[in-house]
Amino acid sequence: MSAAINEQLIREVVEEILGRLDPAKAGAPPPAAKPECHCPKPQANASTGGLFGVFQEAGPACEAAAAAFVKLRQGGMAARHKAVTIVKTLAEANATEWGRIELEETKIGRLDHKIEKLQGIKNVPGVEWLRPDARSGDHGITLEEYTPFGVIGAITPSTHSIPTLSGNIVNMVAAGNAVVFNAHPAASRCAALAIRAYNEAIARETGIENLCCIIEHPTLESFKALCANEHIRLLCVTGGPGVVKAAMQSGKRAICAGPGNPPVLVDDTACMKRAARAIIAGAAYDNNLLCIGEKEVFALDSIADKLMAEMENNGAVRLNAAQLERLTKAAFVFKEGQGAGCPEPVVNKDFIGKDPSVLAQAAGVNVTEKTQLLFAETDARHPFVVEEQMMPFLPIVRVKSVEEGIAAAVEAEHNYKHTSIIHSHDVEHMTAMARALDTTLFIKNGWCMAGLGAGGEGYPSFSIATPTGEGVTNPRTFTRVRRCVMVDNLRIY
Ligand code: NAD
């Protein structure tokens, strides 16, 4: 080949590469607009029986999700990004309606906060989270990539059904996985409604059907069938102690977002007004359904009265001893004849996530519609302190010292290693509590949601993996790390 032909060839190759990188610079015409998708609308799949990801049994749902996983892999990062964007967009666009539907089905929590939670799905991390780790040296280059598992089995709670499901899809699909859900039976209709909407849009935009599947009528049997299915490579459960135990016994690797009972410590260096406002905002959120929500407060004796006065100034309603006793009898079920002194009270499900007015009625007190939270002084062994009660009522316990407060907080947290909060300007107190509690989230001088990026730095997720240690879940949580090594003298400097 002559030098002139050689030069011409190189010029053409360089122009072609530049054209791919920047069509305008290379003088090439911009790429044609993507043709409109004419995929047929997904129909009930004859072999699996699913319609827009909603299935009657675990087996066909897992089969369909496995096929979707293969198609997602073929679609590359672009398909993942598109699917994730659809979920974020639809969650926000339907927040008001889906929030109302979820509240109507579950009858727990508050509409304004159910809407807010769905609007917040847009902040859940997506494909941008998956940056590979690379190193280069005298012996070549090594790339560690975050790659998908395949099909994930996910269990969601009654407390935030569509938000957990939506956040899980964003994280899991961004990481390249497909997912099959077994929702809480009391929140499964709204979950199936969201799944239908997501799949319909994802199939229309990407041609991938059944990327996120659900079992329409979930049961313990469908949970077991899901765990046992050969396509399920990983489990992600979000719920209380029962489901965490069941998942860990399944024989599959399980990422467990378990229960919490977050204690709050307030010392004499804190700003009482700020602490009171933060405590009310957190404990009142969605009628205290959040696993990270403030559930009991330990206040130094010297500032306890001031803190409670600030809580009253900011709209919380204080119950007296007789009112507290009436509420306790209604809000917990006790063994025959043992009354409020029973060491193992069980939360009365009829009161979980109910409005403050319902609790106030049981306590025999009138409150206005605007009341967000009730509170009362209790001792550290009170059922409202010991149990994860999920009601807009907060027990306040006086402690004589920070040491006593930390010890009581450790006991109330039950070693769930979930969330704890301190209001203090003393760094030594902060460090002592952080060390003793050793919780996944530890928030200083803020409300609980600051731990998930609302008023604090960070990002949200509705699955905070506590006993299994992955922390606030994100796309990387749902990946395998694979190393790709190229041996050569590749350094250019
Ligand atoms: P739940 O434990 O009653 O139910 C959670 C899910 O597990 C549901 O889908 C339910 O059907 C299933 N389940 C329950 N027991 C099971 C068993 N033995 N075998 C198989 N499946 C089972 O919890 P809930 O009332 O829906 O939600 C509230 C609980 O979830 C609280 O304890 C809360 O702290 C916790 N939670 C934790 C997180 C987190 O990120 N760590 C987030 C939300 C809720």
pLDDT reported for residue 44: 52
**Which two tokens mark 249?**
């016994």
- 237: CA distance to ligand 1 center in Å? 8
Confidence of residue 337 (pLDDT cuts 50, 70, 90): low
| CATH among 2.40.128.120, 1.20.1250.20, 3.40.605.10, 3.40.50.300 for 7-258+473-480 | 3.40.605.10
Ligand 1, atom 9, residue with closest C-alpha: 184
Q: What is the CA radius of gyration of the chain?
A: 26
| pLDDT over threshold 90, residue 3 | no
- 412: CA distance to ligand 1 center in Å? 19
Confidence of residue 490 (pLDDT cuts 50, 70, 90): confident
253-287: pLDDT as tens digits: 999 999 999 999 999 999 999 999 999 999 999 99
Instruction: Kindly tell me the sign of the dihedral angle through the C-alpha atoms of 461, 76, 229, 191.
Output: positive
- 210: CA distance to ligand 1 center in Å? 25
Nearest-angstrom CA–CA distance, 123 and 257: 19
Q: Where in the chain is the domain with CATH 3.40.605.10?
A: 7-258+473-480
DSSP labels, 66-115: HHHHHHHHHHHHHHHHHHHHHHHHHHHHTHHHHHHHHHHHH--S-HHHHH
Ligand 1, atom 25, residue with closest C-alpha: 158
| pLDDT over threshold 80, residue 304 | yes
106 lines ligand 1 (CB under 6 A): no
Nearest-angstrom CA–CA distance, 493 and 485: 19
458 lines ligand 1 (CB under 6 A): no
pLDDT reported for residue 165: 98
Ligand 1: which atom is nearest the Cα of residue 224? 20
If one residue of 291, 292, 387 were mutated to test the ligand 1 pocket, choosing by the most ligand atoms within 8 A of its CB, it would be 291
Burial of 271 (0-12, 13-18, 19+ CB in 10 A): middle
pLDDT reported for residue 7: 46
- 144: CA distance to ligand 1 center in Å? 34
Q: Where in the chain is the domain with CATH 3.40.309.10?
A: 263-458
Tell me which of 331-335, 446-450, 460-464, 465-469 is least confident.
Answer: 331-335
Task: Considering only residues 33 and 128, tell me which one the structure prediction assigns the higher pLDDT.
Answer: 128
Nearest-angstrom CA–CA distance, 19 and 158: 52
Q: Please report, rounded to a whole number, the percentage of residues in the chain having pLDDT higher than 90.
A: 85
Give the global pTM: 0.90
Ligand 1, atom 30, residue with closest C-alpha: 239
Task: Considering only residues 204 and 42, tell me which one the structure prediction assigns the higher pLDDT.
Answer: 204
- 22: CA distance to ligand 1 center in Å? 50
- 388: CA distance to ligand 1 center in Å? 12
Nearest-angstrom CA–CA distance, 323 and 336: 22
pLDDT reported for residue 332: 96
pLDDT reported for residue 49: 58
Contacts 24+ apart (CB under 8 A), 274-278: 274/423, 274/445, 275/307, 275/310, 275/423, 275/445, 276/307, 276/310, 276/311, 276/313, 276/314, 276/316, 277/310, 277/314, 278/423, 278/445, 278/446, 278/447
Architecture of domain 263-458: 3-Layer(aba) Sandwich (3.40)
468 lines ligand 1 (CB under 6 A): no
Residue 224 DSSP symbol? H
Confidence of residue 470 (pLDDT cuts 50, 70, 90): very high
| pLDDT over threshold 50, residue 38 | no
- 455: CA distance to ligand 1 center in Å? 26
| pLDDT over threshold 80, residue 101 | yes
Nearest-angstrom CA–CA distance, 441 and 453: 12
159 lines ligand 1 (CB under 6 A): yes
